[in-house]
A and B are shown apart, each in its own frame.
Chain A
Amino acid sequence: MIVRTPPMGFNTWNTFGECYNEEVLREIADAFVDRGFLEAGYNYLIIDDHWVMEHRDPVTKRLIPRPGKFPNGIEPLVDYVHGKGLKFGVYSCVGARTCGQKMGSFEYEFTDAEWFSEIGVDYLKHDFCLRPEKSDGETLYRRMGLALRDSGRDVVYAACNWGMDDVWSWIRSAGAHTFRSTGDISDNFKSFTDIFRSQVPKLGSTASGCFNDLDMITVGMEGEGNVGSSELCSEGVYRIQFCVWCMFGSPLILGCDLRTVSDKYRDLLCNRELIRINQDRECRAAFPIGFDESLVFCRLLEGGDIAVLYINISDGDCDMSFVPYDIGLTEESGYKLCLTDVLNGERFEASDIMFVPVPPHDCRMLRGRLEKK
């Protein structure tokens, strides 16, 4: 299975933690469709930890969905999700137990992959907890990769080892399609800025086929839910988060409650132009430009287009700038850089220096190309 552009979907963890059941998930599936998420490109509904029991079936050795959550087994939910035009994802772990101490896949990788295939799983998030201390993490990820491929079903393999063991350097060779590169996100400014700033030096390893996953997006949670925080994010701060995830080519796995997220944040998460940058088929790495402390990123897009993201993390308005020389433009080239704010349509042109006013704790995403002077 070749995954050409970053997967898009929803994962239960951020909002629900352990507290979800079949009824809730059916409502989430409904919201995917009714609120426009599916139409915008989000199509994976992924159940995170706590969906299986602490033991295996004594005869088949298979995992057992928790009856309290899934009284009729998992299959009716899978059918419902597929019936909505969505794909279905689950969670497991390289260890003997999951992070929530439910059954893990250690030494049952083929058993589990075979069962996942039978019930119609399309995506596996594979976590890193409670493995034997003396085991080799890379081999455990390679093992589930082998088992999933052997299952005969197209399954997105989302490795989640939190960036350990220089994961970026080998995970593509293990058959994974995405890889988590950091610890877990919380719904606050420091958490997600720490995450994306830590990945700037490694953006060159994310590309078509295997993408650096910055973790589930918290946009729209507004302090509620399992990873909610008392430090509420402003609209501008949420805009920064989503624009960075798009600019960096991260998988877009939403964590807010799709049923109740406000229209304002639904519209941000479904913005076609931002998603178009995320899903650009060249999948090139963004790179930092501008002066030391400013956060300006550029990315080359297909068809000769260019995206530029200005992030103002200060407390005041800021005329942010970069010199197009730094992205390869020269004064005598005969070209100027023409960019348009993808959110409000404001147009900018420059060949020597590009100033863009950015409000405090906010960002602006621009897209354009070189045009003849």
Chain B
Amino acid sequence: MIMNTPPLIVGMARTHGDGVTKDKILATARAMADRGLVNAGYEYLNIGDGWAKKSRDPDTKSLVPDIEKLGGDLKGIADELAKSGIKLGVVTSAGTKTPNGFPGSFGYEYEDARFLAESGVRLISHDLGSLPTRVDPVTMIRRMGMASRTASSDMIYSVFSDGDVFRRMIRSTGAHLYHNRLFSSAAGVVPPPPETFGFSVPGSLFNCGETVLSSTTDEAELKRALVISSMASSPITVDADITMLTDGEISLLTDRDIIAVTKDRECRPARLMSPFPEAVYLKVLDENRYAAAFVNCGDDAARLSLFAHDMGLTKDARRFVVAEEEAGGERRFEFSDDLTVTLDPGESSLFFLRLEKMKGGAAK
């Protein structure tokens, strides 16, 4: 499967743990459709690992769906989701157990990939927990990558991995997504380190992490997480009870501009243009546009500047930059020196930029 732009994913694992049921899954799917997430581009629902029995079938060694929870088999769930235009995702593990103690795929990669593909699963989120100490983790990632490619031509293979070796090798393993941290809240979503950006490329993208929403999440935190994800060309992975989200949260999750930056066809990574934690990011977009994100990750109010010089603009170009704030903001600026905004701690702003010719037009 060729994945040229990041997918948008709703997850249930962090919010529901192993307590997923058919009712909860279908309620989430209904909410995704009814509240506009499906129309906005969210096409995967990852139900986590709680769909399976705690033991494999003693004869076939296959994973066994928990029929009491699912009201049938996994294929039935996938078929129900498909009616709403949603694809089914699950959590698996390279080790002997999944995060909640269900059977891991260690030694059963090909059987599990085949079973999951036949069950209509189209996203595997592969954890590295419970991995035997004396095996090579990259080889185990390769193995599930090979198994999933062999089982299905349209399976997204997402890997939980960390460290420089993984970053350098992940693209060769067949993985489409990789992430290195789990967060307990939207506030935990931080920009990926600069050294990560060079290895976050179309076809195998860095995942900034699940945006986990709870009753204590405020909208500024959520917006910041989404802005960071969009600039990093990271998938948006929101883990929440969609039925309970406020209209404001839904509005941010379906924000047309944030999603446009996320799914921009060029899929280029942003560049950090000013030092963290008062971060300014610049991202090249399709159609000769740019996105600039101002993110105050510090503890104090701060003035953040994007300098036209650092974008590549020179006086001799006889161009200026037009900056328009994303939907919800009304600010519009024209500048040929710098764009400076003041943000409270935790605040973020996203602008679309384009160049325009000065009067008299041509370069010098």
**Which residues in A have some Cβ–Cβ distance to B below 8 Å?**
2, 4, 61, 107-111, 114, 139, 142-147, 149-150, 152, 166, 168-170, 172-175, 201-210, 281-287, 298-300, 302-304, 325-330, 332-335, 370
Contacts and interface: CB of A to CB of B under 8 A. Distances in A.
Contact of B146 (A144, A174, A329): A329
B199 A208 contact: no
A327 B142 contact: yes
A329 B150 CA distance: 11
A144 B317 CA distance: 11
B168 A328 contact: no
Given A207-B201, A334-B110, A370-B146, A281 B2 contact: yes
B46 to A, nearest CB: 23
Contacts of A109: 312, 314, 317
Contacts of B4: 4, 208
B161 to A, nearest CB: 12
Given A139-B309, A330-B109, A203 B2 contact: no
Given A169-B198, A173-B282, A203-B171, 6 more contacts: A109-B314, A114-B363, A173-B268, A174-B284, A328-B142, A334-B110
A286 B288 CA distance: 32
Closest 4 CB pairs of A and B: A328-B146, A207-B201, A143-B312, A146-B312
A314 B267 CA distance: 42
A304 B310 CA distance: 42
B194 interface: yes
17 contacts: A108-B363, A109-B317, A110-B318, A139-B312, A144-B312, A145-B312, A146-B312, A150-B355, A170-B271, A201-B168, A207-B171, A207-B204, A282-B203, A298-B172, A302-B2, A304-B149, A304-B153
Which secondary structure dominates where chain B touches chain A? mixed
B269 A172 contact: yes
B352 interface: no
Nearest to A371: B150
Given A146-B312, A172-B269, A204 B317 contact: no
A298 B142 CA distance: 12
B169 A204 contact: yes
B143 interface: yes
Contacts of A302: 2
Contacts of B142: 326-328
Contacts of A286: 172
Contact of B143 (A210, A304, A328): A328
B340 interface: no
A316 to B, nearest CB: 30
Interface in B76-113: 107, 109-110
Contact of B172 (A2, A146, A287): A287
